[in-house]
Structure 1
Amino acid sequence: MKHITFWFDFISPYAYLAFEKLPEALKGLGYEVEYRPVLFAGFLKHHGQLGPAEIAPKRDWTYRQVLWLAHAHGIPLQMPAAHPFNPLGALRLALACGSEGRVNRYVAESVFRHVWRGGADAADAQRLAQLRAELQPQRDPDSAEVKAELKANTDAAIARGLFGVPTMEVDGRLFWGFDGLPMLREYLEGHAWFASGAWEAAAGVPAGKTRS
C-alpha cells in the first residue's frame, strides 16, 4: 500500500478541488493518505514569488478557471466573499483537531467546505468560532504548540522541494496541482514511464538564460 502525503492550504481553490476529487481519482488503488496543512504564503516568501491572486490578470483567470473546473467535474464551489484571505485561523483550527502536524479527512473536509461552499467570509471570526464549536478541537488553535506545528509543516514541505499547493508526495516524488491527479494515478499503477529515466532527466535540463 502506497503512502501519500497531501500538502495543502485552505486558501487554495485548487487544493480544495484536488481534495474533493482525490478518492474518485484513485478509486480501486491501494493507498493511504496523510493530510498536512501548510502556509502557502511561506512558500511564496521562500521562493520570492507573488501569489496567483497578487497578479491582477492571473487572479481573474484563476477564479474563472476554478469555477469552470468545479462545474466540469461536478464539485460544488462558490468563491468566498473575499479572496485571498488570511488562512491562519482555519489552518490552526484544523491542526488543533489533529496531532503531530496531521489532520484527518473529516476535519480537512469540514474546513475546506467552510471556505469553498456558500460564498461567505472564510476568515470571519464568528463563523470560525461556530466551526470550532462543531469540530471541538482537543487543543487551543492559538496555542504555541499548534503554531509551531504549522511552521514545522511548512518548513518540512519547503525542505522537500514544495513550491505550491496542493502537492501530493509519494515515494519522494512530488505531484503538484489538481491537474496532477491523473499523473499520480499513473504512477501508483506502475506506468513504465516513471522507470524510464524521464522523470529524473527533466530536472537536468540546463537553463539557457536567467533573468538578473
Structure 2
Amino acid sequence: MSKELTFYFDFSSAYSYIAQKTVEEAFANTGVTVKWQPILLGIIFRENGWSPVTPDTPKGKYTFCDVARYARAEKLVFKLPKVFPYNSMLAARVFYTLPEATAVLFAKAIFHAVFAEGQDAASQEVIGKLLQKLNVDAANILEKSGSDEIKAAVRSATAIALEKGVFGAPTFAIGDELFWGADRLEHAKRWCETGGW
C-alpha cells in the first residue's frame, strides 16, 4: 500500500470543501498519511489561460447545484458564499505559517466558515477570529504570513502542483498518479491499496 497521499486543494474551491471531509474518512485507520497541500488555482488557471467558474454562467449554475447535492449526500451544510470567487491567498499563507496539525484544523475551520456560513475568508478579521478559536496568537500568525518565506512556500507548492500536472482542485496525488475531483477519492484509495490496476 502507498503510504502517502497529497491532497491538493484551494480554499476557494467548493469541491475541495466536500473533499476535506471525505478524504479524512476514506483514509482513517489505513496507515496512509494524507498531506494537506493548499495551492492557488488562480495561478494555475492563469498559466493555462482559463477563467474561474462563476455562479452566473451555465457551468457555474450547474457546479453549485452539483456541489449542493454532493454536500447533502455527505451531510455537509452548503451555502454559496456572498463573495465568490474570493481571493484565497491569505488563507493559504496562514496555513503554511502554522504547525501541520494546527494547519489542518485551520483548513477545516476556513472551509466551514466559507461554505457552511458564507463568510469572506479573504478578510483578516475573519481569519483572525478563526485563529483565536484555535488558541493561537492570531496577530503574530497574520504578521508572519506576510513574510517572504511564507509567500515563497505558497508559490512553491503551486509551482510543484503545476509541474505534476495539477489543473484543478481537489486533486489527490499518489506519487506521480493524479486523481482529479472529489468523486475520484475512492479510485485514489484503491490505488493506494493495490498500487494500481
* 1:159-188 deviation digits (Å, cap 9, x = unpaired): 111111111111221111101111112212
* 1:32-56 deviation digits (Å, cap 9, x = unpaired): 0111111011110111112222871
Aligned residues: 191
SS in 1 for 2:6: strand
What corresponds to 1:154 in structure 2? 158
Q: What is the CA-CA distance between 1:112 and the residue it aligns to?
A: 1.8
Normalization by structure 2: what TM-score? Answer: 0.87
User: Would you say 1:172 and 2:180 are equivalent positions?
Assistant: no
What corresponds to 1:105 in structure 2? 104
In 1, the alpha carbon distance for the partners of 2:102 and 2:133 equals 15
Taking a change above 3 Å as real, the CA distance of residues 62 and 126 of structure 1, as seen in their structure-2 partners, is: same
What corresponds to 2:189 in structure 1? 185
Residue type of the partner of 1:45? R
* 1:177-211 deviation digits (Å, cap 9, x = unpaired): 101111112212217xx34xxxxxxxxxxxxxxxx
In 1, the alpha carbon distance for the partners of 2:125 and 2:175 equals 41
Is the CA contact 2:106–2:130 (under 8 Å) kept in the aligned structure 1? no
User: Would you say 1:61 and 2:47 are equivalent positions?
Assistant: no
Question: RMSD in angstroms over aligned alpha carbons?
Answer: 2.2
Is the CA contact 2:55–2:64 (under 8 Å) kept in the aligned structure 1? no
In 2, the alpha carbon distance for the partners of 1:52 and 1:103 equals 30
Structure 2: tracts of 5 or more residues without a match: none
In 2, the alpha carbon distance for the partners of 1:98 and 1:9 equals 19
User: Would you say 1:133 and 2:137 are equivalent positions?
Assistant: no
Q: Which moved more, 1:144-153 or 1:86-95?
A: 86-95
